[in-house]
Amino acid sequence: MSLELRSLVVFLLAVGCSSSDPAPPSSRPSPVTLQFEAVDAAGTPYVCGAKGLHIAGLTDAIPGDLRFYVHDVRLLKGDRTIEVTLVQDKAWQYQNVALLDFEDATDACSFVIFGKSKTPDTNRVLRGLPAEAGPYDGVEFTLGVPVALNHRETADSKSPLNTTGMDHGAADGRQFARVSFYSVTTGATGDKDHNLLVFRSVCNNVTNGGEIPASADACNKPNRPTIRLSQAGFDPAKDVIVVDVDAMFRGYTTPGTPGAHADLSSGGRVDCYGPLNAGDLGPQIGAERCGKFYPNIGLDYATGRPKGTQGVFRIEKGKAR
């Protein structure tokens, strides 16, 4: 090789390795924050202190409580699911489970049941690191607490699994979702009576003193719906996951409408509370009242397993704050 040609090769290599050249785009995933917002039928935020909300045909609802656990959070990418490893923040997220908390213990939200306190702290986001970078096509999560964590004593559990007011004892496990609202129309005044929905799984072998099951499938009623929200171009930084509280109570009747007394307790409550098991709870506390919530989140009341399509959660583009 001639001296001139050798010099040209050295020059071209030097230019090609110049530090001024732009680096190739990174394929490393970035942390994401998934934002949640709760609303009524008219899209009004469901927050403590709000009044005149539209829920279950009512137009005078006042928020009382809204808390729920989720686990196994994933982002959608085409026909695949991308696992999201939750940040271990020692408050709202532990292992693969997180608590969303919309109540702040003020105004109507100060009411408690069984003396278990609420706190002013709220949490409306999930934070984690996806296994792959975007773009993404939606999000998926499972409502409730995994079996392995659900049946531990509250005092021995890490936050947020030690939250009082969301526990039901080691045998019965945590309350997966808890929502209540007040309404003068239904006679719920905010100091005694309230429209209450409490939702959890039923593992009869645990309740009867047996071993904790190896999986949710071993439960009599797992009650752990997987919520899959497909949305092309889903952007966690710009889009929000909406919780439609009215949709939770869709199908319930209120005073002055046919069948109202089948849905409400003598105190004017929806009152979907208690063991929620598959036994004979009677028409008022059983399928007539609690059962109407199940199809709204895509579950069969008799089995607590997937059936139909949920309508409580949805994605709204560009609504993130």
Mode of pairing for the β-strands spanning 240-244 and 32-39: parallel
Domains in the chain: how many in total? 1
For residue 321, being part of any structural domain is answered with no
How many CB atoms sit inside 10 A of residue 214's CB?
9
Q: Is 285 left (phi over 0), alpha (psi -120 to 50) or beta?
A: alpha
Q: What does pTM read for this prediction?
A: 0.87
Query: 286 φ, ψ to 5°?
Result: -95, -125
pLDDT the model gives residue 99 = 98
pLDDT the model gives residue 71 = 98
pLDDT the model gives residue 278 = 36
pLDDT the model gives residue 23 = 42
For residue 15, being part of any structural domain is answered with no
pLDDT the model gives residue 123 = 97
- Which amino acid, 200? R
- Below-50 pLDDT ranges, the chain: 3, 5, 7-25, 275-281
For residue 224, being part of any structural domain is answered with yes
Q: Read off the pLDDT of residues 275-291 as tens digits, 9 standing for 90 and up.
A: 444 344 455 556 767 78
pLDDT the model gives residue 177 = 92
Residues 6+ apart with CB under 8 A from 177: 67, 68, 69, 143, 144, 197, 198, 199
For residue 1, being part of any structural domain is answered with no
How many CB atoms sit inside 10 A of residue 229's CB?
18
For residue 310, being part of any structural domain is answered with yes
For residue 10, being part of any structural domain is answered with no
For residue 21, being part of any structural domain is answered with no
- Residue 127 sits at the vertex; the CA angle it makes with 138 and 67, to the nearest 5 degrees, is 85
Residues 6+ apart with CB under 8 A from 142: 70, 71, 72, 224, 225, 226, 227
Contact by Cβ (8 Å): 288, 263: yes
Whether the bond into 213 is cis, omega within 30 of 0: no
Q: Read off the pLDDT of residues 72-110 as tens digits, 9 standing for 90 and up.
A: 999 999 999 999 999 999 999 999 999 999 999 988 888
pLDDT the model gives residue 120 = 92
Full domain range(s) for residue 273: 26-316
pLDDT the model gives residue 53 = 95
For residue 3, being part of any structural domain is answered with no
Contact by Cβ (8 Å): 218, 203: yes
Q: Read off the pLDDT of residues 252-277 as tens digits, 9 standing for 90 and up.
A: 877 666 666 666 666 667 766 554 44
Mode of pairing for the β-strands spanning 226-234 and 240-244: unpaired
What whole-number distance in Å separates Cα of residue 186 and Cα of residue 243?
A: 23
What whole-number distance in Å separates Cα of residue 6 and Cα of residue 2?
A: 6
pLDDT the model gives residue 173 = 86
pLDDT the model gives residue 58 = 87
